[in-house]
Amino acid sequence: MPWRWGEALLLLAERLRDSDQADAPVCDAIRRAVTERTGLTPHTVRLLAPGSLPRTSSGKLRRQEALRRFQAGTLAPPRRVGALGLALEVARSRLAPLLGQRRSTRP
């Protein structure tokens, strides 16, 4: 992550879904483990809600996108979709071709 004196190590990690641990002790443990193993001390360690880190369609982390969203303050998990929301999205996708044809045939 660019920083005023060069670059800094930023670590973003997602909490376990059912974790009830406080963030501070977990962040401290991550910071110590990274420092012990690499000799580098992270500037920032943040725990995020599950699903917050952007991924590719194959599941790989999109690191540059995560950094961009973190810096913009928009790094958040996707909104939850219930059964009704899913049904509405399926209906919209089924109707989209029909609505598109109707619009293209108008004078």
Average pLDDT value for the chain: 86
The answer as to whether 71 is a domain residue is yes
The answer as to whether 98 is a domain residue is no
Residue span of the structural domain in which 22 resides:
2-78
Determine contact, residues 45/27, Cβ cutoff 8 Å.
Answer: yes
pLDDT surpasses 70 at 40: yes
The answer as to whether 102 is a domain residue is no
pLDDT surpasses 90 at 32: yes
Residue 37 tokens, joined: 């193993």
Q: What is the pLDDT of residues 77-106, one digit of tens each?
A: 877 778 888 888 888 888 888 877 655 555
Number of structural domains found in the chain: 1
The answer as to whether 69 is a domain residue is yes
In terms of C-beta distances under 8 Å and separation of at least 24 residues, what long-range contacts does 75-79 make, across chains too?
75/12, 75/48, 76/49, 76/52, 77/48, 77/49, 77/50, 77/51, 77/52, 78/51
Enter the pTM of the model.
0.65
